[in-house]
Amino acid sequence: MGYVDEVLDLVAKKNADQPEFLQAVTEVLNSLRPVVEANEEVYRKNAILERITEPDRVIMFRVPWVDDKGKVQVNRGFRVQFNNSIGPYKGGLRLHPSVNLGIIKFLGFEQIFKNSLTSLPIGGGKGGSDFDPKGKSDREIMAFCQSFMTELCKYIGADVDVPAGDIGTGAREIGYMFGQYKRIRGMFEGVLTGKGLSYGGSLARTEATGYGLLYITEELMKCHGESMEGKTCVVSGAGNVAIYAIQKAQQMGAKVVTCSDSTGWIYDSEGIDVELLREVKEVKRARLTEYAAARKSAEYHEGRGVWSVKCDIALPCATQNELLLDDAKQLVANGCKAVCEGANMPTTLDATEYLQNNGVLFICGKASNAGGVATSALEMSQNSERLSWTFEEVDAKLKNIMVNIYHNIDDAAKQYGMEGNYVAGANIAGFQKVVDAMLAHGVC
Ligand code: NDP
Ligand code: 2IT
Protein backbone atom coordinates (compact mmCIF):
# COMPACT_ATOMS: atom_id res chain seq x y z
CA MET A 1 0.00 0.00 0.00
CA GLY A 2 1.26 3.51 -0.81
CA TYR A 3 2.04 5.94 2.00
CA VAL A 4 -1.03 8.14 1.37
CA ASP A 5 -3.39 5.14 1.55
CA GLU A 6 -1.72 3.86 4.69
CA VAL A 7 -2.18 7.18 6.45
CA LEU A 8 -5.75 7.59 5.16
CA ASP A 9 -6.53 4.17 6.66
CA LEU A 10 -4.90 5.10 9.94
CA VAL A 11 -6.69 8.45 10.19
CA ALA A 12 -10.04 6.78 9.38
CA LYS A 13 -9.50 4.22 12.16
CA LYS A 14 -8.46 6.80 14.74
CA ASN A 15 -11.22 9.27 13.93
CA ALA A 16 -14.14 7.12 12.84
CA ASP A 17 -16.64 9.36 14.61
CA GLN A 18 -15.46 12.56 12.88
CA PRO A 19 -16.89 12.53 9.31
CA GLU A 20 -16.10 16.16 8.47
CA PHE A 21 -12.49 15.77 9.61
CA LEU A 22 -12.13 12.61 7.52
CA GLN A 23 -13.65 14.37 4.52
CA ALA A 24 -11.11 17.20 4.78
CA VAL A 25 -8.15 14.84 5.26
CA THR A 26 -9.28 12.64 2.35
CA GLU A 27 -9.48 15.61 -0.01
CA VAL A 28 -6.08 16.97 1.01
CA LEU A 29 -4.10 13.71 1.10
CA ASN A 30 -5.58 12.46 -2.19
CA SER A 31 -4.51 15.58 -3.97
CA LEU A 32 -1.02 15.46 -2.43
CA ARG A 33 -0.31 12.05 -4.01
CA PRO A 34 2.10 13.29 -6.72
CA VAL A 35 4.13 15.30 -4.18
CA VAL A 36 4.17 12.47 -1.67
CA GLU A 37 5.21 9.94 -4.32
CA ALA A 38 8.09 12.18 -5.37
CA ASN A 39 9.34 12.45 -1.75
CA GLU A 40 8.03 9.22 -0.25
CA GLU A 41 11.21 8.10 1.49
CA VAL A 42 11.81 11.33 3.38
CA TYR A 43 8.15 11.88 4.30
CA ARG A 44 7.72 8.30 5.49
CA LYS A 45 10.89 8.35 7.56
CA ASN A 46 9.77 11.58 9.20
CA ALA A 47 6.13 10.52 9.55
CA ILE A 48 5.10 13.79 7.90
CA LEU A 49 1.55 12.70 7.05
CA GLU A 50 0.91 11.07 10.44
CA ARG A 51 2.11 14.24 12.15
CA ILE A 52 0.25 16.73 9.95
CA THR A 53 -3.07 14.91 10.52
CA GLU A 54 -2.68 14.81 14.33
CA PRO A 55 -3.24 18.14 16.13
CA ASP A 56 -0.44 19.49 18.33
CA ARG A 57 -3.08 19.61 21.07
CA VAL A 58 -6.82 19.59 21.64
CA ILE A 59 -8.24 21.69 24.46
CA MET A 60 -11.82 20.97 25.58
CA PHE A 61 -13.49 22.67 28.49
CA ARG A 62 -16.73 23.37 30.31
CA VAL A 63 -18.32 26.79 29.75
CA PRO A 64 -20.83 27.55 32.53
CA TRP A 65 -22.84 30.78 32.32
CA VAL A 66 -26.03 32.18 33.84
CA ASP A 67 -29.02 32.89 31.56
CA ASP A 68 -31.54 35.71 31.98
CA LYS A 69 -33.79 33.51 34.10
CA GLY A 70 -30.99 32.92 36.56
CA LYS A 71 -30.44 29.33 35.46
CA VAL A 72 -26.92 27.96 34.95
CA GLN A 73 -26.29 26.74 31.40
CA VAL A 74 -23.34 24.57 30.42
CA ASN A 75 -21.71 24.49 26.98
CA ARG A 76 -18.61 22.77 25.71
CA GLY A 77 -15.67 24.86 24.53
CA PHE A 78 -12.91 23.80 22.12
CA ARG A 79 -9.57 25.01 20.85
CA VAL A 80 -7.64 22.78 18.49
CA GLN A 81 -4.05 23.92 18.05
CA PHE A 82 -3.24 21.97 14.94
CA ASN A 83 0.13 23.02 13.58
CA ASN A 84 2.43 25.96 14.41
CA SER A 85 5.32 25.13 12.07
CA ILE A 86 5.16 28.43 10.18
CA GLY A 87 3.74 30.74 12.85
CA PRO A 88 1.49 31.07 15.90
CA TYR A 89 -1.80 29.15 15.72
CA LYS A 90 -4.38 31.26 13.93
CA GLY A 91 -8.03 30.62 13.16
CA GLY A 92 -11.56 31.53 14.10
CA LEU A 93 -13.98 30.59 16.86
CA ARG A 94 -17.29 29.09 15.74
CA LEU A 95 -20.37 29.45 17.94
CA HIS A 96 -23.11 27.18 16.62
CA PRO A 97 -25.12 24.28 18.13
CA SER A 98 -23.68 21.89 15.52
CA VAL A 99 -20.10 22.39 16.78
CA ASN A 100 -18.27 19.25 17.95
CA LEU A 101 -14.66 18.10 18.03
CA GLY A 102 -14.75 16.65 14.49
CA ILE A 103 -15.97 19.93 13.00
CA ILE A 104 -13.34 21.98 14.84
CA LYS A 105 -10.65 19.52 13.74
CA PHE A 106 -11.72 19.72 10.09
CA LEU A 107 -11.63 23.51 10.26
CA GLY A 108 -8.26 23.52 12.05
CA PHE A 109 -6.77 21.10 9.54
CA GLU A 110 -7.94 23.21 6.57
CA GLN A 111 -6.59 26.29 8.29
CA ILE A 112 -3.00 24.94 8.18
CA PHE A 113 -2.94 24.96 4.38
CA LYS A 114 -5.05 28.12 4.00
CA ASN A 115 -2.78 30.09 6.28
CA SER A 116 0.28 28.84 4.45
CA LEU A 117 -1.26 29.97 1.13
CA THR A 118 -1.58 33.56 2.40
CA SER A 119 2.27 33.67 2.41
CA LEU A 120 2.09 35.18 5.91
CA PRO A 121 3.62 33.57 9.06
CA ILE A 122 0.56 31.94 10.66
CA GLY A 123 -0.04 28.35 11.77
CA GLY A 124 -3.36 26.48 11.85
CA GLY A 125 -5.90 26.40 14.67
CA LYS A 126 -9.63 26.61 15.27
CA GLY A 127 -12.03 26.72 18.18
CA GLY A 128 -15.55 27.38 19.25
CA SER A 129 -18.46 26.06 21.20
CA ASP A 130 -21.83 24.39 20.78
CA PHE A 131 -23.37 27.57 22.23
CA ASP A 132 -26.25 28.92 20.11
CA PRO A 133 -26.16 32.73 19.97
CA LYS A 134 -29.60 32.87 18.30
CA GLY A 135 -32.28 34.47 20.45
CA LYS A 136 -29.86 35.26 23.30
CA SER A 137 -29.86 38.68 24.95
CA ASP A 138 -26.77 40.86 24.84
CA ARG A 139 -26.16 40.10 28.51
CA GLU A 140 -26.34 36.35 27.88
CA ILE A 141 -23.85 36.67 24.99
CA MET A 142 -21.50 38.59 27.28
CA ALA A 143 -21.87 36.03 30.07
CA PHE A 144 -21.04 33.21 27.68
CA CYS A 145 -18.08 35.05 26.08
CA GLN A 146 -16.59 35.94 29.47
CA SER A 147 -16.85 32.38 30.73
CA PHE A 148 -15.43 30.99 27.48
CA MET A 149 -12.44 33.35 27.64
CA THR A 150 -11.88 32.70 31.36
CA GLU A 151 -10.73 29.22 30.37
CA LEU A 152 -9.36 29.89 26.88
CA CYS A 153 -7.06 32.71 28.05
CA LYS A 154 -4.69 30.16 29.63
CA TYR A 155 -3.79 28.76 26.21
CA ILE A 156 -3.58 31.77 23.88
CA GLY A 157 -1.44 34.88 23.40
CA ALA A 158 -0.29 37.27 20.67
CA ASP A 159 2.71 35.02 19.84
CA VAL A 160 1.06 31.73 20.81
CA ASP A 161 -2.43 31.43 19.37
CA VAL A 162 -4.60 34.23 17.99
CA PRO A 163 -8.32 33.38 17.61
CA ALA A 164 -10.81 35.42 15.53
CA GLY A 165 -14.40 35.29 14.26
CA ASP A 166 -16.24 32.58 12.37
CA ILE A 167 -19.92 31.51 12.25
CA GLY A 168 -21.73 33.15 15.17
CA THR A 169 -18.67 35.13 16.31
CA GLY A 170 -18.56 38.72 15.08
CA ALA A 171 -17.41 42.09 16.38
CA ARG A 172 -19.68 41.96 19.46
CA GLU A 173 -18.37 38.59 20.66
CA ILE A 174 -14.73 39.46 19.92
CA GLY A 175 -15.19 42.64 21.99
CA TYR A 176 -16.48 40.76 25.04
CA MET A 177 -13.75 38.13 24.74
CA PHE A 178 -11.02 40.75 24.36
CA GLY A 179 -12.30 42.57 27.45
CA GLN A 180 -12.16 39.39 29.51
CA TYR A 181 -8.68 38.43 28.28
CA LYS A 182 -7.38 41.90 29.15
CA ARG A 183 -8.98 41.72 32.57
CA ILE A 184 -7.66 38.29 33.54
CA ARG A 185 -4.22 38.46 31.97
CA GLY A 186 -3.72 42.16 32.68
CA MET A 187 -2.33 42.61 29.19
CA PHE A 188 -3.38 44.67 26.23
CA GLU A 189 -2.04 42.71 23.27
CA GLY A 190 -3.16 41.53 19.85
CA VAL A 191 -4.50 38.22 21.15
CA LEU A 192 -7.59 38.29 18.94
CA THR A 193 -8.27 39.65 15.45
CA GLY A 194 -11.45 41.08 14.07
CA LYS A 195 -11.26 43.59 16.92
CA GLY A 196 -13.18 46.88 16.92
CA LEU A 197 -11.39 49.87 15.39
CA SER A 198 -11.18 51.69 18.73
CA TYR A 199 -9.03 48.98 20.33
CA GLY A 200 -6.62 47.67 17.72
CA GLY A 201 -8.80 46.29 14.93
CA SER A 202 -7.83 46.63 11.29
CA LEU A 203 -9.76 48.56 8.70
CA ALA A 204 -11.10 46.20 6.00
CA ARG A 205 -11.02 43.09 8.23
CA THR A 206 -14.84 43.03 8.33
CA GLU A 207 -15.03 43.07 4.54
CA ALA A 208 -11.93 40.97 3.90
CA THR A 209 -13.26 37.45 3.40
CA GLY A 210 -16.03 38.49 1.01
CA TYR A 211 -13.86 41.00 -0.83
CA GLY A 212 -10.99 38.52 -1.07
CA LEU A 213 -13.34 35.91 -2.52
CA LEU A 214 -14.29 38.30 -5.29
CA TYR A 215 -10.68 39.39 -5.94
CA ILE A 216 -9.66 35.79 -6.61
CA THR A 217 -12.84 35.08 -8.59
CA GLU A 218 -12.17 38.12 -10.76
CA GLU A 219 -8.57 36.97 -11.37
CA LEU A 220 -9.83 33.48 -12.29
CA MET A 221 -12.29 34.94 -14.76
CA LYS A 222 -9.69 37.33 -16.19
CA CYS A 223 -7.24 34.47 -16.76
CA HIS A 224 -10.01 32.65 -18.66
CA GLY A 225 -10.78 35.63 -20.90
CA GLU A 226 -13.85 36.79 -18.97
CA SER A 227 -14.76 39.54 -16.53
CA MET A 228 -17.24 39.98 -13.67
CA GLU A 229 -19.13 42.68 -15.57
CA GLY A 230 -22.68 41.59 -16.36
CA LYS A 231 -22.32 38.14 -14.75
CA THR A 232 -25.20 36.66 -12.75
CA CYS A 233 -24.06 35.32 -9.38
CA VAL A 234 -25.83 33.18 -6.82
CA VAL A 235 -24.64 33.46 -3.22
CA SER A 236 -25.64 31.35 -0.23
CA GLY A 237 -25.49 32.62 3.34
CA ALA A 238 -26.36 36.06 4.67
CA GLY A 239 -23.61 36.51 7.22
CA ASN A 240 -20.24 38.25 7.24
CA VAL A 241 -18.77 36.46 4.23
CA ALA A 242 -21.93 36.54 2.08
CA ILE A 243 -22.73 40.22 2.69
CA TYR A 244 -19.31 41.54 1.63
CA ALA A 245 -19.04 39.07 -1.24
CA ILE A 246 -22.34 40.42 -2.58
CA GLN A 247 -21.18 44.01 -2.11
CA LYS A 248 -17.89 43.51 -3.96
CA ALA A 249 -19.50 41.45 -6.77
CA GLN A 250 -21.90 44.33 -7.35
CA GLN A 251 -19.05 46.86 -7.33
CA MET A 252 -17.44 44.75 -10.05
CA GLY A 253 -20.58 44.99 -12.18
CA ALA A 254 -22.08 41.56 -11.49
CA LYS A 255 -25.71 40.96 -10.53
CA VAL A 256 -26.27 38.88 -7.39
CA VAL A 257 -29.76 37.42 -7.26
CA THR A 258 -29.77 35.19 -4.16
CA CYS A 259 -28.77 34.87 -0.53
CA SER A 260 -29.89 32.47 2.21
CA ASP A 261 -29.97 31.83 5.93
CA SER A 262 -30.48 28.69 7.98
CA THR A 263 -34.23 28.69 7.39
CA GLY A 264 -34.77 29.90 3.83
CA TRP A 265 -33.53 31.80 0.81
CA ILE A 266 -34.20 34.92 -1.24
CA TYR A 267 -34.47 35.31 -5.01
CA ASP A 268 -34.33 39.00 -5.87
CA SER A 269 -34.86 39.65 -9.59
CA GLU A 270 -33.52 43.22 -9.22
CA GLY A 271 -30.36 42.08 -7.46
CA ILE A 272 -29.82 41.91 -3.68
CA ASP A 273 -30.06 45.24 -1.85
CA VAL A 274 -26.95 44.97 0.35
CA GLU A 275 -27.84 47.85 2.65
CA LEU A 276 -31.21 46.28 3.39
CA LEU A 277 -29.60 42.88 3.90
CA ARG A 278 -27.09 44.39 6.36
CA GLU A 279 -29.87 46.11 8.25
CA VAL A 280 -31.86 42.84 8.53
CA LYS A 281 -28.94 40.50 9.38
CA GLU A 282 -26.21 42.65 11.01
CA VAL A 283 -28.30 45.21 12.87
CA LYS A 284 -31.65 43.54 13.63
CA ARG A 285 -30.26 39.96 13.62
CA ALA A 286 -33.58 38.96 12.03
CA ARG A 287 -34.76 36.37 9.47
CA LEU A 288 -34.67 36.86 5.71
CA THR A 289 -38.47 37.03 5.71
CA GLU A 290 -37.95 40.63 6.85
CA TYR A 291 -35.86 41.30 3.75
CA ALA A 292 -38.64 39.93 1.53
CA ALA A 293 -41.27 41.93 3.38
CA ALA A 294 -39.33 45.15 2.73
CA ARG A 295 -38.64 44.58 -0.97
CA LYS A 296 -41.08 44.10 -3.84
CA SER A 297 -38.67 42.35 -6.22
CA ALA A 298 -37.75 39.66 -3.64
CA GLU A 299 -39.29 36.21 -3.26
CA TYR A 300 -38.71 34.24 -0.03
CA HIS A 301 -38.57 30.42 -0.16
CA GLU A 302 -38.46 28.10 2.82
CA GLY A 303 -35.61 25.54 3.01
CA ARG A 304 -32.65 25.38 0.61
CA GLY A 305 -32.60 26.09 -3.13
CA VAL A 306 -30.15 28.79 -4.24
CA TRP A 307 -28.28 26.37 -6.51
CA SER A 308 -31.41 25.84 -8.63
CA VAL A 309 -31.19 29.45 -9.88
CA LYS A 310 -29.54 29.95 -13.27
CA CYS A 311 -26.18 31.69 -12.91
CA ASP A 312 -22.71 32.23 -14.35
CA ILE A 313 -20.94 32.07 -10.99
CA ALA A 314 -21.89 30.34 -7.72
CA LEU A 315 -20.42 31.48 -4.41
CA PRO A 316 -21.30 29.24 -1.44
CA CYS A 317 -20.79 31.39 1.69
CA ALA A 318 -22.80 29.70 4.48
CA THR A 319 -21.38 26.47 5.90
CA GLN A 320 -19.87 23.03 5.21
CA ASN A 321 -21.59 20.51 2.91
CA GLU A 322 -24.21 22.91 1.61
CA LEU A 323 -23.58 22.21 -2.10
CA LEU A 324 -24.36 18.56 -2.87
CA LEU A 325 -24.03 16.37 -5.97
CA ASP A 326 -27.58 17.15 -7.17
CA ASP A 327 -26.90 20.86 -6.75
CA ALA A 328 -23.70 20.49 -8.80
CA LYS A 329 -25.70 18.75 -11.56
CA GLN A 330 -28.21 21.56 -11.59
CA LEU A 331 -25.50 24.22 -11.75
CA VAL A 332 -23.85 22.46 -14.69
CA ALA A 333 -27.19 22.00 -16.49
CA ASN A 334 -27.84 25.73 -16.03
CA GLY A 335 -24.51 26.70 -17.62
CA CYS A 336 -22.62 27.80 -14.49
CA LYS A 337 -19.01 28.66 -15.39
CA ALA A 338 -17.35 28.95 -11.98
CA VAL A 339 -17.80 27.99 -8.34
CA CYS A 340 -15.60 29.72 -5.76
CA GLU A 341 -16.05 28.81 -2.11
CA GLY A 342 -16.47 31.57 0.49
CA ALA A 343 -17.34 29.08 3.24
CA ASN A 344 -15.11 26.27 4.51
CA MET A 345 -15.73 22.99 2.64
CA PRO A 346 -19.25 23.93 1.44
CA THR A 347 -19.01 21.53 -1.51
CA THR A 348 -19.07 17.78 -0.92
CA LEU A 349 -16.32 15.64 -2.49
CA ASP A 350 -18.63 14.09 -5.12
CA ALA A 351 -20.09 17.49 -6.04
CA THR A 352 -16.56 18.93 -6.40
CA GLU A 353 -15.54 16.11 -8.74
CA TYR A 354 -18.71 16.50 -10.79
CA LEU A 355 -18.10 20.23 -11.24
CA GLN A 356 -14.44 19.70 -12.17
CA ASN A 357 -15.27 16.89 -14.60
CA ASN A 358 -17.89 19.02 -16.31
CA GLY A 359 -15.69 22.00 -17.06
CA VAL A 360 -16.69 24.25 -14.18
CA LEU A 361 -13.81 26.34 -12.82
CA PHE A 362 -13.64 25.48 -9.11
CA ILE A 363 -11.62 27.16 -6.37
CA CYS A 364 -11.75 25.59 -2.91
CA GLY A 365 -12.28 27.61 0.26
CA LYS A 366 -8.77 27.26 1.63
CA ALA A 367 -7.65 29.39 -1.32
CA SER A 368 -10.70 31.51 -2.09
CA ASN A 369 -11.69 32.47 1.47
CA ALA A 370 -8.12 33.04 2.67
CA GLY A 371 -8.58 36.81 2.50
CA GLY A 372 -10.17 36.83 5.95
CA VAL A 373 -7.31 35.22 7.78
CA ALA A 374 -4.76 37.04 5.61
CA THR A 375 -6.22 40.35 6.78
CA SER A 376 -6.20 39.02 10.33
CA ALA A 377 -2.46 38.53 9.91
CA LEU A 378 -2.25 42.12 8.66
CA GLU A 379 -4.09 43.14 11.84
CA MET A 380 -1.43 41.27 13.84
CA SER A 381 1.31 43.17 11.98
CA GLN A 382 -0.36 46.51 12.73
CA ASN A 383 -0.72 45.55 16.41
CA SER A 384 2.95 44.58 16.58
CA GLU A 385 4.13 47.89 15.19
CA ARG A 386 1.41 49.77 17.13
CA LEU A 387 0.20 51.54 14.00
CA SER A 388 -2.91 51.34 11.85
CA TRP A 389 -2.97 51.35 8.11
CA THR A 390 -5.61 53.03 5.94
CA PHE A 391 -8.48 51.08 4.42
CA GLU A 392 -6.94 51.52 0.98
CA GLU A 393 -3.57 50.20 2.15
CA VAL A 394 -5.07 47.06 3.72
CA ASP A 395 -7.44 46.48 0.81
CA ALA A 396 -4.60 46.79 -1.71
CA LYS A 397 -2.50 44.26 0.25
CA LEU A 398 -5.51 41.91 0.42
CA LYS A 399 -6.07 42.12 -3.32
CA ASN A 400 -2.42 41.47 -4.00
CA ILE A 401 -2.47 38.43 -1.69
CA MET A 402 -5.56 36.97 -3.41
CA VAL A 403 -4.15 37.48 -6.91
CA ASN A 404 -0.91 35.81 -5.80
CA ILE A 405 -2.81 32.88 -4.29
CA TYR A 406 -4.56 32.34 -7.61
CA HIS A 407 -1.25 32.25 -9.52
CA ASN A 408 0.47 30.08 -6.91
CA ILE A 409 -2.25 27.44 -6.97
CA ASP A 410 -2.46 27.60 -10.75
CA ASP A 411 1.32 27.12 -11.05
CA ALA A 412 1.38 24.26 -8.51
CA ALA A 413 -1.34 22.42 -10.42
CA LYS A 414 0.53 22.89 -13.70
CA GLN A 415 3.83 21.77 -12.16
CA TYR A 416 2.28 18.43 -11.19
CA GLY A 417 0.47 17.92 -14.51
CA MET A 418 -3.00 18.82 -13.22
CA GLU A 419 -3.61 22.12 -14.98
CA GLY A 420 -6.87 23.74 -13.92
CA ASN A 421 -7.26 21.57 -10.81
CA TYR A 422 -7.16 24.37 -8.24
CA VAL A 423 -8.02 22.00 -5.40
CA ALA A 424 -4.84 20.03 -5.98
CA GLY A 425 -2.92 23.24 -6.62
CA ALA A 426 -4.09 24.77 -3.31
CA ASN A 427 -3.31 21.68 -1.27
CA ILE A 428 0.11 21.22 -2.84
CA ALA A 429 1.14 24.87 -2.61
CA GLY A 430 -0.11 25.14 0.98
CA PHE A 431 1.55 21.88 2.04
CA GLN A 432 5.00 22.59 0.62
CA LYS A 433 5.87 25.48 2.93
CA VAL A 434 4.55 23.69 6.02
CA VAL A 435 6.45 20.50 5.24
CA ASP A 436 9.71 22.39 4.68
CA ALA A 437 9.34 23.97 8.14
CA MET A 438 8.39 20.65 9.77
CA LEU A 439 11.48 18.96 8.33
CA ALA A 440 13.66 21.86 9.48
CA HIS A 441 12.32 21.57 13.05
CA GLY A 442 13.16 17.89 13.44
CA VAL A 443 10.96 15.44 15.32
CA CYS A 444 8.39 17.49 17.21
P1 NDP B 1 -21.97 34.14 9.93
O2 NDP B 1 -22.37 33.57 11.21
O3 NDP B 1 -21.75 35.61 9.81
O4 NDP B 1 -23.02 33.73 8.79
C5 NDP B 1 -23.32 32.39 8.48
C6 NDP B 1 -24.48 32.42 7.51
O7 NDP B 1 -24.74 31.12 6.99
C8 NDP B 1 -25.76 32.87 8.21
O9 NDP B 1 -26.53 33.61 7.30
C10 NDP B 1 -26.42 31.55 8.57
O11 NDP B 1 -27.82 31.64 8.72
C12 NDP B 1 -26.08 30.75 7.31
N13 NDP B 1 -26.26 29.31 7.53
C14 NDP B 1 -27.09 28.52 6.83
N15 NDP B 1 -27.06 27.28 7.25
C16 NDP B 1 -26.20 27.22 8.26
C17 NDP B 1 -25.78 26.18 9.09
N18 NDP B 1 -26.22 24.94 9.00
N19 NDP B 1 -24.85 26.48 9.99
C20 NDP B 1 -24.41 27.74 10.12
N21 NDP B 1 -24.80 28.76 9.36
C22 NDP B 1 -25.70 28.52 8.43
O23 NDP B 1 -20.66 33.37 9.48
P24 NDP B 1 -19.55 33.78 8.40
O25 NDP B 1 -20.18 34.51 7.28
O26 NDP B 1 -18.42 34.38 9.11
O27 NDP B 1 -19.08 32.33 7.92
C28 NDP B 1 -19.65 31.67 6.80
C29 NDP B 1 -18.69 30.60 6.30
O30 NDP B 1 -17.46 31.21 5.89
C31 NDP B 1 -18.28 29.54 7.32
O32 NDP B 1 -18.05 28.32 6.63
C33 NDP B 1 -16.96 30.07 7.86
O34 NDP B 1 -16.17 29.03 8.40
C35 NDP B 1 -16.37 30.63 6.59
N36 NDP B 1 -15.31 31.61 6.73
C37 NDP B 1 -15.49 32.74 7.49
C38 NDP B 1 -14.49 33.68 7.57
C39 NDP B 1 -14.67 34.96 8.30
O40 NDP B 1 -13.76 35.78 8.27
N41 NDP B 1 -15.79 35.20 8.95
C42 NDP B 1 -13.20 33.47 6.90
C43 NDP B 1 -13.14 32.29 6.06
C44 NDP B 1 -14.16 31.41 6.02
P45 NDP B 1 -28.49 32.36 9.99
O46 NDP B 1 -28.44 33.81 9.69
O47 NDP B 1 -29.86 31.80 10.02
O48 NDP B 1 -27.66 31.98 11.18
O1 2IT C 1 -12.03 30.22 8.43
C2 2IT C 1 -11.34 31.24 8.58
O3 2IT C 1 -10.32 31.44 7.91
C4 2IT C 1 -11.78 32.26 9.54
N5 2IT C 1 -12.83 32.09 10.17
C6 2IT C 1 -10.93 33.46 9.80
C7 2IT C 1 -9.85 33.14 10.78
C8 2IT C 1 -9.02 34.32 11.23
O9 2IT C 1 -8.14 34.07 12.06
O10 2IT C 1 -9.22 35.44 10.79
| pLDDT at residue 333 is higher than 90 | yes
For the beta sheet containing 161-164, the strands, ordered from the edge strand earlier in sequence to the opposite edge, are: 57-66, 72-83, 123-129, 89-95, 161-164
Q: How many CA atoms lie within 13 A of 169 on its CB side?
A: 30
Query: How many A from CA of 166 to the centre of ligand 1?
Result: 7
CA–CA distance, 266 with 207 (Å, rounded to integer): 22
Q: Give percent of the chain above pLDDT 70.
A: 100
| pLDDT averaged over every residue in the chain | 98
| pLDDT at residue 27 is higher than 90 | yes
Query: How many A from CA of 210 to the centre of ligand 1?
Result: 12
Tell me which ligand sits closest to the C-alpha of residue 202.
Answer: 2
Query: How many A from CA of 347 to the centre of ligand 1?
Result: 14
Q: Which ligand 1 atom minimizes the distance to the CA of 194?
A: 40
Q: What is the mean pLDDT of residues 209-234?
A: 98
Q: What is the mean pLDDT of residues 50-59?
A: 98
Q: What is the mean pLDDT of residues 274-300?
A: 97
Q: What is the mean pLDDT of residues 262-289?
A: 97
pLDDT tens-digit readout, 59-99 = 999 999 999 999 999 999 999 999 999 999 999 999 999 99
pLDDT tens-digit readout, 403-443 = 999 999 999 999 999 999 999 999 999 999 999 999 999 99
Q: Which ligand 1 atom minimizes the distance to the CA of 261?
A: 11
Mutate-to-test residue for ligand 2 from 376, 382, 394, highest number of ligand atoms within 8 A of CB? 376
Pocket around ligand 2 at a 6 A CB cut-off:
90-92, 114, 164, 166, 193, 344, 372-373, 376
Whether residue 108 has its Cβ less than 6 Å from ligand 1:
no
Identify the band that residue 115 occupies on the pLDDT scale cut at 50, 70 and 90: very high
CA–CA distance, 246 with 291 (Å, rounded to integer): 15
pLDDT tens-digit readout, 132-143 = 999 999 999 999
Catalytic residue list contains 14:
no
Residue 292: predicted pLDDT: 98
434-443 contacts, C-beta under 8 A, 24 or more apart: 434/52, 434/83, 434/85, 434/86, 434/112, 434/113, 434/116, 435/43, 435/48, 435/52, 437/85, 437/86, 438/46, 438/48, 438/51, 438/52, 438/85, 439/42, 439/46, 439/48, 441/85, 443/46
Q: What is the mean pLDDT of residues 343-366?
A: 98
pLDDT tens-digit readout, 152-196 = 999 999 999 999 999 999 999 999 999 999 999 999 999 999 999
Identify the band that residue 1 occupies on the pLDDT scale cut at 50, 70 and 90: confident
